[in-house]
Amino acid sequence: MSKTVVIAFANNKGGSGKTTTCSNVGCALAAMGKKVLLIDGDMQQNLTLSYFDEEKALEFAQNGKNIYEAIKSERDLSAYIVETGYEGLDMVPSTSLMSSIEFDLFTKWQREWILKKCLEPVRAKGYYDYILIDAPPTLGGWVMNIMCASDSILIPVEASPWGLFGLANLFDFYHKVLELSPNLKVLGIAVTKADERKKYFKQTLETLQAMEGVYLFETYVRVDSAIEWSQDNSKPVVAYRKTSRSALEYIELTKEIIKNVNR
């Protein structure tokens, strides 16, 4: 059995903090000495742009080093990995071509399992401790692929009035995936963009605490402009401004993830 743990960062609600959480947890894990592979599964390429500038992202689209080419050709994902420049942290970038992934998957045999098959050789090598997959804000065949390739799902939820909207759909979808992949776990819900001064932050927290059978991470990440600055500089905040509030919170969240993965 491979020791690699695969975690999908998923929520059909856009703007819930999936990409920010995926990129920062990945960087924090690598800084703690873990070997990490990030997979950008979204056509918006935000995870790719969290580490590379637009010019570099365009290069990955042109030289074929991206998830779209891997899925389309159903090849070993190892050939599509690029270095991020951070020790122990690699990535499979995305391209805007991911906009047609549902169409490309449609005609494939056993189409829910393509990503899992592409990942198999990477897992078998056992080099990575963690593979983190950033999912798009949808619930379709591609997210089905992402979940079927994962051991668990981490759900970032924005502490806003609409943050919880659609969460029931996500859980319905998760239960459908369980029919195919019965060992898939929900690692937990992580609250992002929290503003303790606002009433609905408390409301969101209380609603999530009342959900049965789902772990709510004790660490939540508060609203912090350092995150936007870090993204503007193509860096995760845990590397860009190590002592900022959100960087420290993401490091705490990462420690909690490690604890819960091994639970």
User: Would you tell me which residues interact with ligand ADP (CB under 6 A)?
Assistant: 14-20, 46, 137, 192-193, 221, 223-224, 227-228, 231, 246
Least spacing, CB of residue 164 vs Mg ion, in Å: 18
Q: CA angle at residue 251 from 248 to 256, to 5 degrees?
A: 130
Least spacing, CB of residue 46 vs Mg ion, in Å: 5
CB of 174 closer than 8 Å to CB of 8: no
Contacted by 12, from Mg ion, ligand ADP, none: CB < 5 to 8 Å by type: none
Nearer to ligand ADP by Cβ, of 138 and 203: the residue is 138
Q: How far apart are CA 234 and CA 217, in angstroms?
A: 27
The Cα-based distances of 133 to 7, 162, 223 in angstroms read 6, 24, 23
Nearer to ligand ADP by Cβ, of 66 and 192: the residue is 192
Least spacing, CB of residue 162 vs ligand ADP, in Å: 13
CB of 132 closer than 8 Å to CB of 36: yes
Contacted by 143, from ligand ADP, Mg ion, none: CB < 5 to 8 Å by type: none
CA 5 and chain centroid, separation: 13
Contacted by 48, from Mg ion, ligand ADP, none: CB < 5 to 8 Å by type: none
Q: Which of residues 13-52 bind Mg ion (CB under 5 A)?
A: 18-19, 46
Q: Which tokens in the block code for residue 215?
A: 């772990």
